[in-house]
């Protein structure tokens, strides 16, 4: 009897997901299979152990139904349903599902009408204008394919932060349960550095029997570095990266007559330091937080004593930019506010969609009045310890004006101005559109500035520097949208925003209670961008925040 390992089962389950998507029907079933396949590819213990101990449902994304499929694939390396699906579509067609925005039904049309059976053929057809001329496909789809082929290639094998977190936490827990001799199991790699997309899933652990030197346990996606206690810090440093940061540390060590190796900092044969903090200290540096370790000038800043004190989760006083069931959220205003209060925040800023956002249940003038009366009622019950702020996410219209007239906008405590349509305006027009919105005295925060969605679509074309300078000039805060699909503004622009004099606002864009906790990913991005707490709008106390907004108007 054939027994398939976790990587084989993950590959087969992913194929099952793709073929299920092409078959049609419930799209969530295919997505569930795909998430489970991701989880299987990052197991820290052999799959047969989890099967034998009946622990498959502990794996993120694996319920009873998927567990049964995994068991059959594990036992036989096959599944009757998968065998049946394979007869319908050639394997190469599945590649096209990796292109963002290319839905299964369009993939089927490309295959059946144009005979396209691979990514290479898809690219050739798009460049040769074959898709543009095909009935039911057209120029718009062809342009999207050409644009998103690059995204498919660049995002290959990487995970959004929240997905990587789930896989790493499960790997850590299962490793500790299966190998109780391991100590100090710690997450490293891209995730520890707070990268917005994670490809390098890594853990570092101490084992009492690792005196002979570090070893690495590797699966398809996960690497577990096992070392002794003495060298744990050095191994953690190297497993965290980045390569550029480590190269610069090695160069600094050589300048000081030392050598930085995987097991520590040495001078000749003498081990100078093997703990992270001590390695930095021996090189004349303060401790460099993992999020800053990208080789983008942090070593020079550290040598000059100019590293920022990074914001932390505990620094945030309130939450702004959240949605309720008044527009496209899932919970009532009271439920969202209560959940925010329970998380220890001082204020909750509701910002449902404005009237032009018909697709998202934008608020009419009558609905605004209803919501404001409800906020007033709840604020009386909350007393002085907590407050709901009356906000709106106002669409930035094509000409740069804000949704609603000024007399309506003036009734809100704050306004998040965001683009939700007309993404394809040229750079000059799109920039001018944002600049006009920023200059509106009612704009408090510029929401998800570039409109990007990670591994789904690029941001629209704007002059980011010009927009940031305008935000600084008019006192408009720049949003760090904490939704893990957005994480916009990109952390690589945070330092420029700070240098220009911008305030930033870390907002979850939450549409449910669970999404309130996206705030953490926004904090991670702010830390990666070098942002201190005193430059974050919602790190202000409520009185400070209201004074700040009043000055803007």
Mean per-residue pLDDT pooled into runs of 10, the chain (553 residues): 82 94 88 93 91 94 95 94 93 91 92 93 93 88 87 75 95 90 95 95 89 69 92 96 97 97 94 96 98 97 97 98 97 98 98 93 96 98 95 97 96 97 95 98 98 91 98 98 97 98 98 98 98 98 93 75
281 burial (CB, 10 Å; 0-12 / 13-18 / 19+) is middle
Q: What angle do CA 273, 276, 277 make, to 5 degrees?
A: 90
Query: What are residue 36's phi and psi, to 5 degrees?
Result: -65, -35
Q: Is the peptide bond before 242 cis (omega within 30 degrees of 0)?
A: yes
Distance spanning both ends of the chain, measured CA to CA: 74
Query: Residues 6 or more apart from 442 whose CB is under 8 A from it?
Result: 402, 406, 409, 410, 412, 415, 553
CB 524 within 8 A of CB 161: yes
* Signed CA dihedral, 399, 401, 404, 405: sign only: negative
Strands 318-322 and 183-188: unpaired
**H helix or E strand, kind and range, residue 319:** strand 318-322
Res 133: pLDDT: 87
Res 211: pLDDT: 63
What count of Cα atoms within 13 Å lies in the side-chain half-sphere of residue 19? Answer: 19
Q: What letter does residue 510 receive in the DSSP assignment?
A: B
Question: Which residue in this structure is represented by tokens 């997505």?
Answer: 31
Cα dist from 132 to 118, 126, 142, 424, 519, whole Å? 18, 7, 6, 18, 42
Res 1: pLDDT: 47
User: Global pTM?
Assistant: 0.91
Rounded CA separation 488/71 (Å): 40
Res 212: pLDDT: 57
Q: What angle do CA 13, 19, 22 make, to 5 degrees?
A: 145
**H helix or E strand, kind and range, residue 186:** strand 183-188
Res 150: pLDDT: 78
DSSP three-state, residue 445: strand
What count of Cα atoms within 13 Å lies in the side-chain half-sphere of residue 362? Answer: 15
């Amino acid at each position: 009897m054939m027994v398939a390992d976790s990587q084989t089962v993950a590959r087969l389950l992913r194929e099952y997901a793709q073929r299920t998507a092409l078959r049609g029907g419930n799209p969530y079933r295919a997505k569930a299979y795909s998430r489970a396949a991701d989880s299987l590819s990052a197991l820290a213990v052999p799959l047969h152990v989890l099967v034998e101990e009946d622990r498959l449902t502990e794996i993120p994304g694996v319920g009873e139904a998927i567990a049964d499929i995994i068991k059959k694939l594990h036992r036989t390396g096959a599944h009757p349903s998968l065998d049946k699906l394979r007869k319908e579509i050639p394997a190469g067609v599945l590649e096209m599902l990796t292109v963002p925005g290319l839905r299964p039904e369009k993939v089927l049309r490309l295959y059946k009408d144009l005979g396209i059976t691979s990514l290479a053929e898809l690219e050739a057809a798009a460049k040769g204008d074959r898709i543009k001329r095909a009935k039911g496909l057209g120029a718009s789809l062809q342009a999207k394919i050409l644009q998103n082929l690059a995204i498919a290639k660049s995002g290959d094998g990487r995970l959004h932060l929240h997905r990587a977190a789930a896989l790493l936490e499960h790997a850590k827990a299962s490793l500790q349960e299966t190998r109780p001799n391991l100590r100090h199991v710690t997450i490293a790699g891209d995730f520890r550095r707070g990268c917005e997309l994670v490809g390098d899933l890594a853990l570092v652990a101490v084992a009492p029997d690792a005196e002979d030197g570090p070893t690495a346990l590797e699966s398809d996606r996960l690497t577990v570095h096992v070392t002794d206690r003495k060298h744990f810090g050095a191994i953690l440093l190297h497993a965290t990266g980045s390569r550029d940061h480590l190269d610069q540390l090695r160069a600094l060590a050589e300048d000081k007559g030392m050598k930085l190796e995987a097991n520590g900092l040495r001078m000749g044969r003498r081990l100078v330091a093997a703990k992270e903090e001590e390695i930095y200290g021996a090189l004349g540096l303060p401790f460099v937080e993992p999020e800053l370790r990208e080789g983008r000038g942090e070593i020079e800043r550290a040598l000059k004593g100019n590293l920022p004190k990074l914001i932390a989760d505990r620094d945030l006083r309130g939450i702004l930019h959240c949605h309720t069931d008044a527009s496209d959220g899932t919970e009532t205003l009271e439920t969202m506010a209560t959940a925010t209060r329970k998380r220890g925040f001082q204020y909750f800023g509701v910002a449902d969609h404005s009237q032009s956002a018909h697709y998202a249940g934008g608020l009419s003038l009558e609905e605004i009045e209803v919501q404001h009366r409800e906020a007033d009622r709840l604020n009386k019950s909350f007393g002085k310890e907590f407050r709901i702020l009356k906000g709106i996410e106002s669409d930035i219209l094509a000409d740069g004006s804000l949704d609603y007239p000024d007399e309506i906008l003036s009734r809100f405590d704050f306004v998040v101005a965001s683009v939700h349509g007309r993404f394809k305006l040229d750079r000059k027009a799109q920039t001018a559109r944002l600049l006009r919105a920023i200059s509106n005295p009612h704009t408090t925060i510029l929401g998800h500035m570039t409109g990007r969605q990670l591994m789904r679509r690029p941001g629209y074309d704007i002059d980011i520097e010009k927009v940031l300078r305008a935000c600084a000039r008019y006192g408009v805060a720049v949003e760090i949208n904490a939704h893990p699909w957005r994480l916009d503004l990109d952390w690589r622009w945070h330092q420029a925003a700070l240098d220009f004099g911008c305030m930033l606002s870390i907002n979850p864009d939450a549409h449910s209670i669970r999404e309130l906790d996206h705030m953490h990913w926004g904090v991670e991005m702010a830390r990666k961008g070098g942002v201190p707490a005193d430059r974050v709008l919602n790190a202000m106390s409520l009185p400070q925040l209201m004074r700040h907004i009043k000055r803007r108007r």
